[in-house]
Amino acid sequence: MTQQGRARACANIALAKYWGKSDETLNLPAVPSLSITLDALVTETVVTLDPGLFEDEVLFDGVVRSGDDATRAREMLGRIRERAGSAVCARVETVNHFPTASGLASSASGFAALAAAGASAYGVDAPLELLSAWARRSSASAARSLYGGFVELSAGLPGDDSLSARVVADAHHWDVCVVIALASLERKKTSSRDGMLETARTSPFYPAWLACAPGYFLEVREGVLARDLERVGEAMEASTFAMHASALAARPAVRYYAAATAVLLDCVESLRARGIAAYSTMDAGPHVKVLCMAGDALAVRDALVASGGAVDVRIARPGPGLTR
């Protein structure tokens, strides 16, 4: 009988950002973060045990991969094998159902789906918290993608490998959308991992980021629970710009925005001036994601398209957690 496991997980966008680590070996975040899991960005992963393999084979969208993502996938499978007491290697087939070949981060959904598919292929009965902790070890934002809706991940205590994410509110809690404006189709130059490590090593503003980030997180959390878009939006923008400011002050600068990013940010400000509550966030890339009420999502999309700053604009809603 083939030993196979499969799982689906959605990507997430942080409203309060994780940037920096308290323990690089265990990949623990230095600050708490809170995200929305998004229904429009889905990764499906199948793990199949194959005694004929000498090394795990990792395929993304049908293409064999050998870079950093493949190494992290092998490391995760290694941890699952240790738990299962198995020495058999596996084939990992991952398909991203993302709007385009977009440069949007797929590692969060990818590692969340891999943890679950790997555990079931190796017959390990792992609760969601353990899957979330495994996903976090590969990519901290991935810990949040095991869960649907609004999800938090605390800062990690150095040495505590058990850290996992938690649900703050489910996907039906609040009728918001995230409108995703892609500023370019190019792949990002500096990964979030390298960007945050460089920031921590060389940016004089990193200590200020560490001091401010927990406050932004609390504001976002309270705002989400109260369904207060203005409170969440303002704190989200503060978290976003403080994270990017700390990265920009690294030597050399870690810069993710592009010319089109500024066009999109201006567009969101002018939407607000017209009375539409819309707020921007950016991650380790030039794209702008806009938080707004579901009823305003089409108007926000149309304005972003008309701004000329986007190559593609999609609307996403709060989405589900892991499905197997």
Residue (49 or 213) nearer to ligand DP6, CB? 213
Residue (119 or 284) nearer to ligand DP6, CB? 284
Q: Tell me if 34 sits within 8 A of 46, measured CB to CB.
A: no
> What's the closest the beta carbon of residue 221 comes to ligand DP6, in angstroms?
14
Pairing type for strands 57-60 and 90-97 reads parallel
Q: Report the interface residues with ligand DP6, using CB under 6 A.
A: 14, 17-19, 27, 33, 107, 139-141, 192-193, 283-284
Residue (16 or 84) nearer to ligand DP6, CB? 16
Residue (150 or 271) nearer to ligand DP6, CB? 150
Q: Indicate the SS3 state at residue 313.
A: strand
Other C-beta atoms lying within 10 Å of the C-beta of residue 158 = 12
In whole angstroms, what is the distance from residue 20 CA to residue 242 CA? 13
> What's the closest the beta carbon of residue 137 comes to ligand DP6, in angstroms?
9
> What's the closest the beta carbon of residue 26 comes to ligand DP6, in angstroms?
11
What is the H or E stretch that residue 272 is in? helix 259-273
Using only C-alpha atoms, the chain has a radius of gyration, in whole angstroms, of 19
> What's the closest the beta carbon of residue 306 comes to ligand DP6, in angstroms?
27
Q: What is the DSSP string of 21-83?
A: EEETTTTEESS-EEEEEEEEEEEEEEEEE-TT-SS-EEEETTEE--SHHHHHHHHHHHHHHHH
Residue (91 or 244) nearer to ligand DP6, CB? 244
Burial class from Cβ neighbours inside 10 Å (0-12, 13-18, 19+) for residue 216 reads buried
> What's the closest the beta carbon of residue 213 comes to ligand DP6, in angstroms?
10
Q: Tell me if 316 sits within 8 A of 148, measured CB to CB.
A: no
Residue (6 or 255) nearer to ligand DP6, CB? 255
In whole angstroms, what is the distance from residue 306 CA to residue 324 CA? 39
Residue (162 or 270) nearer to ligand DP6, CB? 162
> What's the closest the beta carbon of residue 195 comes to ligand DP6, in angstroms?
8
Residue (21 or 91) nearer to ligand DP6, CB? 21
Beta bridge partners of 180: 289, 314
> What's the closest the beta carbon of residue 136 comes to ligand DP6, in angstroms?
8
> What's the closest the beta carbon of residue 311 comes to ligand DP6, in angstroms?
20
Task: Collect all residues with Cβ–Cβ distance below 8 Å to 84 and sequence separation of at least 6.
Answer: 122, 123, 124
In whole angstroms, what is the distance from residue 24 CA to residue 18 CA? 14
